[in-house]
Structure formats: C-alpha cells, structure tokens
Amino acid sequence: MFKSPGNNGISLRIVCIYAIVACLWILFSDELLAFLFTDQATIIRLSILKGWLFVVVTAALLYALIKGHLEALQNQFNQLTTIFDSVNAVVYVADLATYEILYLNRFGSATFGSNWQGKTCYEMFQADQKAPCSFCTNDLLVADGEPLPPHVWEFQNTITGNWYQCIDRAIRWTDNRLVRLEIAFDISDRKGIERIKDELVSAVSHEMRTPLTAMLGYTEFILEHEVSQEQQKEFLRTIHHETERLNELIGNFLDLQRLKMRPEPLEVTHLAVETLLKETSDLFGVAPQKHRIVLDCPPGLPQVIGNAGQLHQVLVNLVSNAIKYSAEGTTITLGAHREGESVIMWVKDEGIGIPADMQERIFERFYRIDNSDRRLVGGAGLGLALVREIVSAHSGRVWTESSEGKGSTFYVQLPAIHEGH
C-alpha cells in the first residue's frame, strides 16, 4: 500500500493554528492573572498550574488537528486505492532513483504476486532481471525537475508473456518527491487479432492467390478460345482441383478461428476408435486413389470421449496430408493401440518426411516447411494447426515422428474411458 501520509510531516496549516493558539495563551493568560489577583504567591502558584494546563490544552488541540489531518489524508488514500483496485490493469508507483515499488494495486498483486514490499520494479515485473531495464522510461518522464507529459508505449512481459500498453508519467508523491506512476493495460487479445490479420493477409497474398490465378487463367482461356471437349474436361478438372484447394484453405481457417473462440461447450459422446478409423479409411477408399489405404486396428480398444465430427476431421486432415506428401503407389496406414490410460491413433505414410528441427513447428498456424518438394504441393499450413487445436480441446496431444525421405507418422493421444463409466 501507500506509505502512511502521517509519516511525511505536519501541514503548515496545523503549525500555524498551533502557533496562534500558543501565542494568544501566553499573551493574555499572564495579564488575566495580574488583573484577577494581587498576591504574588497566588499568582506564582496559578502560573505553574497555568503552564500545566497550557501543555494539556495545546497537546489536545495538536492531537485533534493532526488526527483530523490524517483522517482527511486517509480518506483521500482510500478513495484512490478503491479506484485503482477497480481498474482491470496493473497500476504501480516506483521511486525514480531507487526503482523501489511504493504501491501496487490489487490487479497487479494478483498478476505478479503480493510480496512486492521492498522490491524494485524490475525484480517484480521482469523474469531474472537484476538491474534496471534497458527500456526503462524514467529519463522520458522528467526534465529540469518538472514532470513531462505521459509517455505511452507497448512491450511483451517476460513473466506472463502478455502484451501491455503502458502509460507512464511522473507525479508528486506524499513527501513531494517525483515518482513514476505506470498504468499497464493487457492488450494481448488485440495483439493476437493483429497477428491473425497479418497472417491472413500473408496467406491471401501467397497461398489463396495461387489457386485463384489458376482458376481465372483457365476460365479466361476457355471463354476466349475454341477448346476441344477433351481439353475442356482437362481444364475443368484443374479448376475443380484448385477450387477444392481454396475451399479447404478457407474451411480450415474458419474452423480454426471457431475453435479458438469456443463460444459454446464442446458436444461430446462415447466414441469407438475402430469406427472412427474405419469411416476415415472408407472415405478415402470410395473413389479410385493413387495410394493404398490400410487399416491396422486391434479389436477391443476402449472408447474415448469426444466430438465425432471434429475427431473425424482430425483423421481426414492427417490422411490428406499423408497423401499430399507421399509418392503415388505408396501405402497410408491408419492404426491405433492402447497405452496405459490412453488410446493412441496414428497415421503413417511413406512420404518425403519432415526435418527433425521442424517437427514441433509444423503445428503452428501458417507455418510451412520452406523446401521445393513441399512448396510444389501447396497449402497454407492450417491443417495441422487445426488438428492440434481440436486434439487440445479433447484434452489430448498430437505429435509426429519422421525421417527425411522415409516418411512420417502422426500420433493422436486421447484419454480412454474406463470400464463402467
């Protein structure tokens, strides 16, 4: 909390009132005694009593004045702390010279801890910081001993990982020294929206433009030239393929955003793993494929709790990826097995593989391995991000094991249902 304002001295007003009362007492009390009494012995005795009375009266007066002053300051303090504690932002005051924290509001205490007394701002609000921060704004807040206008800036905190917009300014503290007041608003959501916007713009400019360009090019050629029926079919097949590619990109992006927001609770039920794998295998086995789809699922696996549509989408995305990055004639295997209290489903291909240092990053939104083999396939790096988001919503995890040139296996681990549940 703030340091007690009573420790910072008595106001000039109190001193003046005390001095006036004392002077009036000294000036008129002696004259009053001389007017009422003529006996010197009596006057001396009464003067002694008068002195003691003076001490008592002035002490009581001083106590009353100081108490009133402290109560007024305490009321002001309570009003300020009530306001600051109701703000959904980190509010703190720190000494400009020593960086010691003088005040931290309730929101700040809940975020960074309540043991802030005696600590510096850089120790309290930064991870493993032993000296003033290089980005400290103290030098921007005061000039020639006078406060400057507020300084507004943004930074990412090293403890919470959140982004904050900070408003810093120098103010007069209760002892009249200049201190730094900082109000830091969490803008992580805004930064996330800005990042998503930038990623979407990047995806539109690079990945969405490619199928659109192909579709427009073939359509314009058909409209402007005499084309045989066989060529028309070939061009339409290309247009259809690019349309599917664009539709997949947009669908994955919208599904990913919907999962990120999660406005409604996930509708789940008990699901048989064998059924999930067989439905996916049958889906890719209906039309003639250039890959062999194999199912490897032992009977008697425990069920899992989940959303059938979303888990089906996970398997479809994994199989689609396996097909994209595998040569024609190779085998795609869908399998599952039990491991402890979990069921692990997996999709194995015999494709181009993934470098070891990129096997974690491929699940990031819009991340794509930058090599010619994969760039020829196309895509915006949303499918695996969607897979991870869905699996995370089911309290599971997803990972891959891969060797370049030898293929990849993607694993989805989900909690198994115990018998009797």
Same domain, 126 and 254: no
Instruction: Give the pLDDT of the chain (421 residues) as one tens digit per residue.
Output: 444 444 444 556 666 776 777 777 676 676 776 677 777 777 677 777 777 777 787 778 778 777 776 777 677 666 766 777 777 899 999 999 999 999 999 899 999 999 999 999 999 999 989 999 999 999 999 999 899 999 999 999 999 999 999 999 999 987 889 999 999 999 998 888 787 777 767 666 666 777 788 888 889 888 888 888 888 888 898 888 788 778 877 777 777 666 666 555 677 889 999 999 998 888 886 545 678 888 998 888 999 999 888 898 899 889 988 888 888 889 999 999 999 889 999 999 998 888 888 888 888 776 666 544 444 444 456 778 888 988 988 899 999 998 888 899 999 999 998 765 5
Domain limit, last residue, from 215, 248, 264: 264
Q: How many domains does the chain fold into?
A: 4
Same domain, 24 and 173: no
Same domain, 152 and 217: no
Same domain, 214 and 119: no
The CATH number that applies at residue 122 is 3.30.450.20
Burial class (CB in 10 A: 0-12, 13-18, 19+), 6: middle
Same domain, 181 and 196: no
Domain limit, last residue, from 133, 159, 186: 186
Domain limit, last residue, from 215, 246, 264: 264
DSSP string, 231-262: HHHHHHHHHHHHHHHHHHHHHHHHHHHHHHH-
Q: Which long-range contacts (CB under 8 A, 24 or more apart) does 195-199 make?
A: 196/257, 199/365, 199/366
Same domain, 275 and 405: yes
Amino acid at residue number 25: W
Instruction: Provide CB contacts within 8 A for 252, sequence distance 6+.
Output: 317, 380, 382, 383, 385, 386
Helix 229-261 vs helix 188-203: crossing angle, to nearest 10 = 170
Same domain, 55 and 93: no
* Residue showing tokens 């599952």: 336
Same domain, 217 and 362: no
3-state SS assignment for residue 154: strand
The CATH number that applies at residue 396 is 3.30.565.10
Same domain, 50 and 101: no
Give yes or no for a contact between 246 and 211, defined as CB atoms under 8 angstroms apart: yes
Q: What is the largest CA-CA distance in the chain?
A: 141
Which residue range forms the structural domain that includes residue 344?
Answer: 266-421
CA dist 335 and 339 (Å) reads 13
Same domain, 313 and 399: yes
CA 45 to chain centre: 78
Give yes or no for a contact between 85 and 106, defined as CB atoms under 8 angstroms apart: yes
Same domain, 304 and 340: yes
Give yes or no for a contact between 238 and 214, defined as CB atoms under 8 angstroms apart: yes
Rg of the chain over Cα atoms, rounded to whole angstroms, equals 38
Burial class (CB in 10 A: 0-12, 13-18, 19+), 311: buried
